[in-house]
Amino acid sequence: MSADAVFCSSTVDYRGKVPVEHLDYGYIEKCKDVKYMEKILKVLRSGDEGIYPHLTTFCESHLEKLHPRSPALRKDNEVATAASLSKDEWSQIVDELKTWQEETKKTETSLKQQRVFDDLPKENIPPIRGSNCSIALSETSNANEKRSSSTCPLPRDYREWDKFDVERECEKIDGNVVKNDPPAIVTKRNPEIKTKVEAALLTQQEKLFLANREKDKGNEAFRAKDYEEAVVYYSRSLSIIATVAAYNNRAQAEIKLHHWHKAMSDCQSVLQLQPGNVKALLRRATVHKHTDHFQLAVEDLRTVLREEPQNAAATKLLSETEKLMEHPPVQHRKGKKILIKEVEEEHNSEDNEEKEAEAFLVEPSQPVGGEESSAAPAERGDMGNAQKKPHGRGDGGPHGNEAGNPHAAGHWRGKGGSADKYKVTPDSKEKVANGTNKRGSTASVQADQSSGGKGTPDGGSARETIDLDAPCGALPPPLSRLKNEGNLLFKNGQFSDALEKYSQAIQGYTDSAIDSPEDLCVLYSNRAACYLKDGNSQDCIQDCTRALELQPFSLKPLLRRAMAYESLERYRKAYADYKTVLQIDVGVPAAHDSVNRITRLLIEQDGAEWREKLPEIPLVPLSAQQHRREEPPSAEALQARAEKAARDAERKAEVRFTASKQDGNEFVKKGQYQDAMAKYSDCLKLKPEECAIYTNRSAPGPCHFLSPLCSVTLYRGVGEQSPVIWFWD
């Protein structure tokens, strides 16, 4: 750029004439100076140096490349006429105009009719401005006016010069320097604009007109990024007539202002007025996303995509939300180390987190002993172990199996490189998963949905539940909420508060009689961590034991119990637990360290035959060792597996269903209604919601044997899906 500038400025003089040698293809091609190019173009166009049409066009096109908006390129256009448009375009315009004319005619007549009643005095009009208020301007702005007359540069009276007082002018200039300027008048953001418009007295036409106008103002303010003002104007529009568009726009403005609550209520208003409004759904999804209600956001987005599969915004938002669902943002978690596995599951792939973890791992491991140091291994144990793998499982990818173990190991040993490598893998894996998920949702929402309608939820919807409930397993929302709150508190170091939350969750769990031992196990395990942190080793041991009763050989409770035992100096038991941990996963350095330490202590204490005094170390079954990651209470993995199984089952069921149905149809054709009946019943067992089967099953009935079962099923068939299909299909 600078070189070009030099190239041009060294040779050109903007004031002077353009030398003839510059009117040359080569020169013009090389010239990068817009201003000079414009000058050249001017000369070329003027024809002073001769007329070169090609060179002129060349110059124009080159200038356009350099500066497409150059004023020199503006050409006078002839005004377009109907003929210069395509026929369709023009007829469209004419049609629009015609409808508008007709509409305005109607409006006008109704306005005229209403005039009869227009004698009502308008009360809200302010009084006449203080009449005869001797116009303040001539006084207040007296000085201003004077100054203006002396500053205005053009038509300056000669008389002024006679009156010119040099000293006073100088003083004025000096004075200006010292003069304290009043502060800038920034026209305030929303200065006293009423959010309501008095429109009670107006006619419907006027109201419409006004409402539209206020909305337009809102739109303009929105475009100028003046969101607060936009909100005010939308509110004004709404106070006249509540319209979908104004609500929708206000919601958008509120979103921009991060007023989630208000935006939400606006979206709801729209959806009340017009259920299924795509924009409102989209905006509500945005709000949900930002208020961390990912599931709701996803639901809304799927509804949108069902309506408009091509909606790019929805697709984008969906993929973002799904990503967030898997790895919620770090913001709440920053700066604190995480102890609890369940918390980590949510966001274990976040970069910050990774770095923290990495940094932590590089440090030499600390001896487990006192309360202080015992925290460290606990943390590691929690972080390194079971988290990543359930994820791999959840995505159904092979990654969990093959990468799980070495991953954990790498992580644990704190070898920067390998750990790093592994941190990348789950992330990319998830991206892939996301990708497929997304594709599934956009391209084949319908398919997805329709298949989802059959029996168990599958595909996207199933995954979505998993994703959201991932940290909470099968817990109902209030409980998972309690749990998440607990996790958060724990992370923030408020252990006793967290403890309370977990206790509540456990209580709620027992009350609601849910059958999900793995979740309860996690709750106990988490509570145990709190106890451990609080130094309440007894209760910690108790909780861990409970957790282990529910889920034998889960790593974390074991590790925690071991630490608790250790801090109570019950080394033998601690040793046993650590050993168990190591049987489950050899790659837990904390356990290794502790085992070594405790061994030394026990040898000191009990002498050479210390082993004999040890409690029995349970033999960890092979399944727990190999598929260790299945054993820990990873609700997610379990659910993923369940889902997979369900899908398999469904696929099989589908096959069997079709087969049975075909058999049934065959039998019907052969007249063997009894057999057909049996086949159809089989079908119904597989898919009770299939209407056609009911109809098929009952079809033979009316003709030949009218059994009560038949009529009932017919009725059900009708009730569930109104159009009765009377044909064999």
Partner 1 sequence: MSSPLSKPQIIAHIQKSLNYTIFDSKWIPCSAKFVSLGNFARGTGVMQIYEVQHGEAQLIKEVEKPKPIKCATFGATSLQQRHIATGDFDGNLNIWNLEVPEVPVYSVKAHKEIVNSIDGVGGLGIGDGAPEIVTGSRDGTVKLWDPRQRDSPVANMEPVEGETKRDCWTVAFGHAFNDQDRCVCAGYDNGDIKLFDLRNMSLRWETNIKNGVCCVEFDRKDINMNKLVATSLEGKFHVFDMRTQHPTKGFASVSEKAHKSTIWQVRHLPQNRDIFMTAGGAGNLHLWKYEYPAERSKKDSDDVDMGVAGSVNLLQNVTLSTQPIASLDWSPDKQGLCVCSGFDQTVRVLIVTKLNVV
Minimum Å gap between C-beta 257 and partner 1 is 17
Q: Specify the long-range contacts of residues 104-112, CB closer than 8 Å, at least 24 apart.
A: 107/205, 110/203, 110/205, 111/203, 111/205
Which residue type occupies 107?
A: T
Stretch in the footprint of partner 1 (CB under 8 A) among 3-11, 80-88, 505-513, 549-557: 80-88
8 Å CB contact between 667 and 679: yes
Which residue type occupies 578?
A: Y
Stretch in the footprint of partner 1 (CB under 8 A) among 46-54, 187-195, 568-576, 596-604: 187-195
The pattern of x and - marking residues 46 through 75 that bind partner 1 according to CB under 8 A reads -----------------------x-x--x-
Distance CA 110, CA 96 (A): 21
Minimum Å gap between C-beta 168 and partner 1 is 18
Distance CA 17, CA 281 (A): 64
Minimum Å gap between C-beta 117 and partner 1 is 9
8 Å CB contact between 38 and 63: yes
Minimum Å gap between C-beta 5 and partner 1 is 22
8 Å CB contact between 441 and 460: yes
Name which position in 167, 225, 331, 417 contacts partner 1 (CB under 8 A). Answer: 225
Our finding on whether 173 is near partner 1 (CB under 8 A) is: no
Distance CA 410, CA 109 (A): 82
CB atoms within 10 A of CB 122: 9
Minimum Å gap between C-beta 214 and partner 1 is 9
Q: Which is nearer to partner 1, 200 or 608 (CB)?
A: 200
Tell me which residue has tokens 């000058």.
39
Minimum Å gap between C-beta 148 and partner 1 is 5
Give the footprint of partner 1 on residues 594-653 (CB under 8 A): none
CB atoms within 10 A of CB 220: 13
C-alpha distances in Å from residue 95, one per residue of 81, 90, 91: 16, 8, 6
Stretch in the footprint of partner 1 (CB under 8 A) among 221-229, 317-325, 384-392, 487-495: 221-229
Give the footprint of partner 1 on residues 472-511 (CB under 8 A): none
Name which position in 166, 186, 200, 622 contacts partner 1 (CB under 8 A). Answer: 186
Give the footprint of partner 1 on residues 331-350 (CB under 8 A): none
Q: Which is nearer to partner 1, 65 or 129 (CB)?
A: 129
Distance CA 256, CA 150 (A): 47
Minimum Å gap between C-beta 309 and partner 1 is 24
Minimum Å gap between C-beta 95 and partner 1 is 12
Name which position in 32, 67, 213, 656 contacts partner 1 (CB under 8 A). Answer: 213
Q: What is the DSSP string of 441-510?
A: HHHTHHHHHHHHTSSS--HHHHHHHHHHHGGGTT--HHHHHHHHHHHHHHHTT-HHHHHHHHHHHHHHHH
Give the footprint of partner 1 on residues 665-694 (CB under 8 A): none
Our finding on whether 162 is near partner 1 (CB under 8 A) is: no
Minimum Å gap between C-beta 198 and partner 1 is 9
Our finding on whether 87 is near partner 1 (CB under 8 A) is: no
Q: Which is nearer to partner 1, 50 or 127 (CB)?
A: 127
Give the footprint of partner 1 on residues 5-44 (CB under 8 A): none
Residue 362: which residues within 8 A CB-CB, separation 6 or more? Answer: 414, 416
Determine the length of the chain: 729
Minimum Å gap between C-beta 71 and partner 1 is 7
Distance CA 687, CA 684 (A): 5
Minimum Å gap between C-beta 691 and partner 1 is 47
Residue 128 gets the label, from left (phi > 0), alpha (psi -120 to 50) or beta, of beta
Give the footprint of partner 1 on residues 93-122 (CB under 8 A): 93-94, 97, 100-101, 104-105, 107-108, 111, 114-115, 118
Give the footprint of partner 1 on residues 126-155 (CB under 8 A): 126-133, 135-138, 140-142, 144-146, 148-149, 151-155
Give the footprint of partner 1 on residues 303-322 (CB under 8 A): none
Size of the site for partner 1 (CB under 8 A): 82
C-alpha distances in Å from residue 212, one per residue of 206, 234, 235, 237, 244: 10, 10, 12, 7, 12
